[in-house]
Structure 1
């Protein structure tokens, strides 16, 4: 009789061996911002140390695009040259902000690492922002300099900013040439110093700047090292120190944690490559790049995966692609089933996850065994993460009971930039992050039952109605309005608006243009209903969007 191996039990045994005293991932408990948190006993203490580590990978590919290729050595040299230029020409030093406003590409990554060499704080502005949103970001984080591609530099000019702007197409090549050969600067930083600011939509109607620390981001890279070690143990491979032969496709924006924290940065410690398609997502073009560069891993948003289903994948050699993970938005069981049918070679490596910008990386991951048991779940807490379900009073709820999803780990953000009140609402005194999402834990697996209040998830982008409503109410013809999401088969949701106005004073085209001039395109409502009737409200006077959406 053959014994049946429980995959979860086997995983627990392997993890116990990797984290035991004296093992490569030995765990210890240390105070993190005053709270005892399990951390790795042997770890790097700064991102700059990861850059130094990457030099051992030499001329191996680090950053690859359709027409450009940078080795680890070339990348580190470029980061050092740009850091020297920023310090000498623009006075950038420890704690200063360096704005980055651009599409994905090697120069974005070089700018990030140049800031790390100076102890500065890179700020990843949303590349889809309209000029008013950019102006808000600049005023909020007050960068010493902004590094931008030509398209976004034009938008920056519309804001009238006096902040120096370095164009990636012209200024950066000149500076890299002028300061070529400069030593890579090193500025001492503490583990809990700010390392990056990324923006997330805010319920107050303005984006919030999520601050991740040096500790957060190094820990995320260590998590990826740990998963590599787990896979090696499962497949009988030696643990080793790398380099990895994997090649990761980067299709989500670098101003998101999915790409920056979880794809690009960890490659410095694993020696793998990050491959960037150009422009908007187009399945044929992306799959051609997968084929040419022998991509092995792809972290996609569900919208991209659904568009993949419409493409004739048989015309591409995708034999190198061995892992597909779906992130940034809920994944339906129907989409998972369709992907399994379309790409049967990925059946044993298809995963989904749950997380948010504030959590630094995924809080849970659903592996193939998890999905086999419950394909509606988002899996189990990852290495280093604790997840609890709590009620409104903070009481921990029993298995199977719905409540708010709360997360604690060394990956959880420091807080929100210049917003202590919002930070206090999000993180309690024991460093538990209140996600604002609701779900249940059953046998260790998390199921998300409701997203944050009124949040619209459009193609992997978070859209909060209040931000759009605030813009709409600036229009002189608008008396009041309400914005909400409606289902869409490809994007997940689209943005809809109900606007109260006097008949004949304005039409949807006028309102659409008004919003488009002030907000990113994905926030502009697609569906409009104009009415003279007041909006429905509850007993406390709040608009009941649910009634409008019916």
Structure 2
């Protein structure tokens, strides 16, 4: 059964229950959520949305974005998450690959990409927005538009209003859609020449949500505090209440809302939890589970979390391509660390997740929650993770990264995807990206080391936003006389390079 069908069925069983509390405190019942999703589905189909149509999605987390995304998927469309803040060049590259027929965006984004004063303000805030109103795929019919929020200057003529769609008819849907059909496309990394996007099917997303629910029981009476769609959806499917914090919620307000709404579950990335614990050494007593994900959870943060709450603190190992993979408790991870054992304990693979180690120790994953593959490429049945691992009595132990992957917040950065494009820039002789781990947050400072003239950092700061993914832009750029190499093949010695940039050698900016 697909996730949309599960949600609609749950909403039909508990129409009067509160499904969602938004950032401003407004309430949405299950019955009203169901009606709105079906109304959007019917309206889009009436306007010509076809099965498999991609809908470029640029709506920030909110009740409106939830309704719109679910309505698109219920109508047989594919939600394409392509961040317009990535910059016009990267956005255009992603557009060429995804070839969506529809665009859904907030009115302010349309205005920010076209109207002079608003566009200038966005540029001052560091947002180089593409012209969403004039998006066009060569050889395709004119793109259709949907806007969320009141119509503003810059919204294309003929754009459908989400408010009008929600007020429309809401007939019952037909039988469930094909579970193997694509439901979502998530761009994860890449350059303007080679963007990469993960394609999830209805079935893989439903399997992922089921694994979260099995490990972290949810049901009526539970309140899950998160802005993450893939944790909010299992909440709704379970009949629990989704507490959605406002955008850019300060840590103190995040904790205050957890207390006011009697949250039983909360999700944070480790660096966010560290900021929360700085403001609130004790977490609300109503919490039963604190879920950490998107980056490794350092022992220091786990110790602080265990001290701050009686809730079970869980750390999730997952990738965009397959989520979740394994979940370990803070106690298990800390016991592994205290024992002096090598590596980072990830926990036992969740039911149905297949694990295999390649000859070089790289972890290969499979299972019903594995994506269909990458957009524009052949499907795969097994994912090479780039992580080195070992198995110890059925538990996964992370030993390192085969592909030198760096972790920045919720973004996995693979240096090899970006270094060739950087090295091709004028004046750059060689380029290498390494990470310097932060001992407390688990995040990494991304350092770009280049060889070439001393003036390179300023030029690269100016030019790289139009060349590589904005999440891959370096925190620091250093110019070295040469990149360190070792062995008979003179292979780049990333460990030595990491030591040098940690000591802040070279000309930096």
For residue 370 of structure 1, report the CA deviation from its aligned partner: 3.2
Q: Does 1:210 align with 2:219?
A: no
User: Is contact 2:89-2:467 (8 Å) kept?
Assistant: yes
Residue of structure 2 equivalent to 1:352: 315
Q: Does 1:339 align with 2:305?
A: yes
Residue of structure 2 equivalent to 1:245: 221
Deviations 1:432-451 (A, max 9, x none): 33222111111122111113
For residue 73 of structure 1, report the CA deviation from its aligned partner: 1.8
Distance in 1, matches of 2:160 and 2:63, equals: 12
Correspondent of 2:473 among 520, 524, 531: 524
SS at the partner of 2:279?
Answer: coil
Q: Does 1:260 align with 2:229?
A: yes
Residue of structure 2 equivalent to 1:438: 388
SS at the partner of 2:321?
Answer: helix
Residue of structure 2 equivalent to 1:168: 148
Residue of structure 2 equivalent to 1:14: none
Residue of structure 1 equivalent to 2:40: 82
Distance in 2, matches of 1:371 and 1:535, equals: 35
Residue of structure 2 equivalent to 1:362: 324
Normalised to the residue count of structure 2, the TM-score between the two structures is 0.81
Residue of structure 1 equivalent to 2:506: none
Residue of structure 2 equivalent to 1:181: 169
Residue of structure 2 equivalent to 1:148: 105
For residue 318 of structure 1, report the CA deviation from its aligned partner: 1.2
For residue 387 of structure 1, report the CA deviation from its aligned partner: 2.3
Distance in 2, matches of 1:302 and 1:128, equals: 24
Deviations 1:334-393 (A, max 9, x none): 22112222x1423xx01112121111x22111135634642541111112223233324x
Alignment of 1:67-466 (within 5 A): 67=24, 68-89=26-47, 91-126=48-83, 128-150=85-107, 152-153=109-110, 154=113, 155-157=129-131, 161-162=135-136, 163-170=143-150, 174-177=161-164, 179-186=167-174, 189-202=177-190, 206-227=194-215, 243-251=219-227, 259-261=228-230, 263-313=231-281, 318-341=284-307, 343-346=308-311, 349-359=312-322, 361-367=323-329, 370-371=332-333, 373-375=335-337, 376-392=344-360, 403-420=361-378, 423=379, 427=380, 431-466=381-416
Deviations 1:3-62 (A, max 9, x none): xxxxxxxxxxxxxxxxxxxxxxxxxxxxxxxxxxxxxxxxx2563353233222213222
Cα gap change, 1:95 to 1:173, in 2 (>3 Å):
closer
Residue of structure 1 equivalent to 2:453: 502
User: Is contact 1:81-1:175 (8 Å) kept?
Assistant: no
Correspondent of 2:444 among 483, 486, 493: 493
Distance in 2, matches of 1:243 and 1:312, equals: 27
SS at the partner of 1:374?
Answer: helix
Distance in 1, matches of 2:132 and 2:426, equals: 23
For residue 286 of structure 1, report the CA deviation from its aligned partner: 1.0
Deviations 1:377-431 (A, max 9, x none): 1111112223233324xxxxxxxxxx222222211111111112xx4xxx4xxx3
Deviations 1:236-272 (A, max 9, x none): xxxxxx8521111224xxxxxxx333x1222232111
SS at the partner of 1:377?
Answer: strand
Instruction: Structure 1 unaligned segments of length 5 or more: list them.
Output: 1-43, 232-241, 252-258, 393-402
Larger mean Cα displacement after TM superposition, 530-539 or 453-462: 530-539
User: Is contact 2:93-2:192 (8 Å) kept?
Assistant: no
Larger mean Cα displacement after TM superposition, 62-71 or 463-472: 463-472
Distance in 2, matches of 1:538 and 1:279, equals: 50
Distance in 2, matches of 1:332 and 1:202, equals: 27
User: Is contact 2:104-2:147 (8 Å) kept?
Assistant: yes
For residue 97 of structure 1, report the CA deviation from its aligned partner: 0.9
User: Is contact 1:297-1:323 (8 Å) kept?
Assistant: yes
User: Is contact 2:12-2:30 (8 Å) kept?
Assistant: yes
Q: Does 1:47 align with 2:4?
A: yes
Cα RMSD for the two superposed structures: 2.9
